[in-house]
Amino acid sequence: MMKSLLLAAALLGVFSTAALGGDRYATRPPVVLSPDLAAPWIMQLGGGKVRPVVYQRPVVFQQRGLFAPRATQQVPPALTRPVSAINPGVPVVRQRIEPQFLPQIVAYETQENPGTIVIDTNNRFLYLVMDGGKARRYGVGVGKPGFEWAGAHKITRKSEWPDWTPPSEMVSREAAKGHYLPARMDGGPENPLGARAMYLGSTLYRIHGTNAPWTIGNAVSSGCIRLRNEDVVDLYERVKVGTRVIVM
To the nearest 5 percent, what fractions of the chain are helix, strand and coil? Answer: 25, 25, 50
> Nearest to residue 245, comparing CAs of 199, 209, 208, 210?
199
Q: Kindly name the residue from 207, 224, 227, 233 that is annotated as catalytic.
A: 224
Tell me if 162 sits within 8 A of 176, measured CB to CB: no
Contacts of residue 65, defined as CB under 8 A and 6 or more positions apart, other chains included, come to: 82, 83
Q: Which of 137, 208, 226, 228 is catalytic?
A: 208
Looking at the chain, which runs of residues are DSSP E strands? 59-63, 66-70, 104-107, 117-120, 125-129, 134-139, 142-143, 151-160, 196-200, 206-208, 219-221, 225-226, 244-247
Q: What angle do CA 119, 120, 122 make, to 5 degrees?
A: 145
Q: Give the residue from 228, 225, 189 showing the smallest Cα distance to 96.
A: 228
Euclidean distance between CA atoms 207 and 29, whole angstroms? 63
User: Is residue 153 among the annotated active site residues?
Assistant: no
The set of catalytic residues is 208, 224
